[in-house]
Structure 1
């Protein structure tokens, strides 16, 4: 158990100290590239011998970004731009930026005219009609353009051979994360909700081969333990991101076991592997993107697919309910809420909606909601 504790503490330290990680890689003579949400193909970065560094906002002041955005834009985007402007991201050789929602589109242009002067932007305008052949062809082309731009900015060569090696590393990474998520659900006493988040979050700040070795060690040690009993609530979480330290402490204090998640910062990002049988690496990336579903940010003509998917996550993992964290001013997620609410009501599974902001420090309302939820869980069990 002490070895597991040491590994969890290592993941936590990395998750909470991305600047230290970046400085360590720079000291080794490596170049790093910022990977902004969502679905940027960071395998291209890795294949160039570069370090992908995830940029998903975080806690901290928002001052300079207000010169470019109105204050009612969701906090993650504001904080991402602030970090690029205030020096937090200094040392990056480039940033990879996508445009998959109505905030990320202006974000890309605001980044270009501000922080882009210091940290060049590699721009990806994904095709939302991603499943049709023409959509795959288009996405393969923009991935190729991103590769060529990255080669020019960072003075590297990204070969097909290295791309395929990167695909193997990243497929292993996704497999290990999916395995860890299941192990965390069956070992809730050993892996608290905060531990689970730190393990997954640290992946954004490590070279994936290094992370894979560490996560494999943790998974092997968890598999050697018997499954653990749990008298707290078992939940599915949903939303964009839930890594606020105050929120994680509330999860632990109120004995919340996350048995599965529909969180963009977590499981949504590693659901789909790359098909290694596809010869053209860019088409393989486009095919992977085509098979990504159940995400409000991605267009899908089957509009009722995600509600069923999230409900099934709760049913299949014997969850007591779903905690939905609705990021303030995120219109994309808000528009999906009515259909999600209806699906959970149909199955008589509690769905607790909570307003969320990365800058939140007072979680009094969340505590009240969780107290009520825990009482409901206990009554249902007896």
Structure 2
């Protein structure tokens, strides 16, 4: 089903992948485990024979979630809860929910209340990765997740099961990285929307099948540099709705690097394939890029973005701010000031998952880059 897709088909499926997931599940007789982002070790879920599906919000109307969450709850949290309460909840046999901020901590409790008959487990990765205990904590959590799934399924998995799963998921990320690297130098070869649709769909469908599509798409790419493109860095957590990428394509912006959970932070999550697979997944977690809700060196976000900007000779940084994301709202003022002191052009786009019109974003984005070309920034 997902093994022979064109770029156009990928973009269409990314808008709403769930009908195809339902069809695949019916054909294969598989169970589905949903997880919110970030950092749930999906290789573990796959090793148990389940399809791991990342929950990345919905643009469908909010009907039930607003009455369960405060008005200022993060747009992504509201959207994910709505997705399962009103639209796709019956598809999932269970959920693994990371707790990375106050909102996601309370959200997991709400989830348990409203889905009492489904498997629900939390993944409590350390929120202070710079502490000596973080590695031990991460390993304990991965082993606890394995034990929880084993108890639920009455099945045990081996290191070979995990290693096979890791190899498949690593192949997926390597293919995505190769396509991303090609696009950096050939911005006319595929659009930003197509590239990030490939990444997003990879997080939601069977990788054994989808890797076949990625190979064919990669092999079919042609050298097309195009003219008039502006290289940019995209920073944030997620970038939705997908039409935001279409705005970038419209004014010929070329994303050459990013810090998104639905972008490079996912692609870079390749697990070292040497030794104990659990230890290798711990290594992966400890070496991930900056993520706003996780406490780290207070300058790390700034340093990573500055490095990406300079290494890629970018012209500007665009920051995607999710409406009411508390951690981003604390990060943003200082990040903005530090980058501007470095002389790095910086533009913030405020987004939310139920956006009906992007006209205001288009106007501000066009004005920013007109100013950039005119030397006013």
CA distance in 2 between partners of 1:156 and 1:191 (Å): 43
Call closer, same or farther: CA 1:380–1:227 in 2, change over 3 Å.
Answer: farther
CA distance in 1 between partners of 2:246 and 2:133 (Å): 47
CA distance in 2 between partners of 1:321 and 1:303 (Å): 22
Shift of 1:118: 3.8
From 349, 355, 359, the equivalent of 1:354 is: 349
CA distance in 2 between partners of 1:257 and 1:219 (Å): 18
Residue of structure 1 in register with 2:271 after alignment: 274
CA distance in 1 between partners of 2:303 and 2:278 (Å): 31
Residue of structure 2 in register with 1:342 after alignment: 337
From 233, 243, 247, the equivalent of 1:246 is: 243
TM alignment of 1:1-382, pairs within 5 A: 7-27=6-26, 28-115=28-115, 117-130=116-129, 134-222=133-221, 225-279=222-276, 281-300=277-296, 302-380=297-375
Say whether the 8 Å CA contact 1:136–1:283 is kept in structure 2: no
Shift of 1:289: 1.1
Secondary structure of 1:263's counterpart equals coil
Per-residue Cα deviation, 1:137-195 (whole angstroms, up to 9, x for no partner)? 22212212212222333454322111011111222222222222221222222311211
CA distance in 1 between partners of 2:331 and 2:275 (Å): 34
How large is the Cα RMSD of the aligned pairs?
A: 2.1
In terms of mean alpha carbon deviation, does 11-20 or 307-316 score higher? 11-20
Say whether the 8 Å CA contact 1:99–1:125 is kept in structure 2: yes
Give ranges in structure 2 of 5+ residues lacking alignment. none
Secondary structure of 1:143's counterpart equals helix
Say whether the 8 Å CA contact 2:74–2:326 is kept in structure 1: no
Secondary structure of 1:88's counterpart equals helix
Shift of 1:73: 0.3
Say whether the 8 Å CA contact 2:240–2:351 is kept in structure 1: no
Superposition TM-score, scaled by structure 1 size: 0.91
Secondary structure of 1:33's counterpart equals strand
Call closer, same or farther: CA 1:106–1:122 in 2, change over 3 Å.
Answer: same
Say whether the 8 Å CA contact 2:321–2:328 is kept in structure 1: yes
In terms of mean alpha carbon deviation, does 57-66 or 154-163 score higher? 154-163
Shift of 1:354: 1.7
Shift of 1:375: 1.3
Shift of 1:295: 1.8
CA distance in 1 between partners of 2:61 and 2:155 (Å): 35
Secondary structure of 1:353's counterpart equals strand
CA distance in 2 between partners of 1:87 and 1:119 (Å): 16
CA distance in 1 between partners of 2:257 and 2:350 (Å): 20
Say whether the 8 Å CA contact 1:14–1:205 is kept in structure 2: no
Shift of 1:298: 1.9
Call closer, same or farther: CA 1:100–1:322 in 2, change over 3 Å.
Answer: same
Give ranges in structure 1 of 5+ residues lacking alignment. none
Shift of 1:353: 1.0
Secondary structure of 1:348's counterpart equals coil
Shift of 1:24: 2.2
Call closer, same or farther: CA 1:129–1:378 in 2, change over 3 Å.
Answer: closer
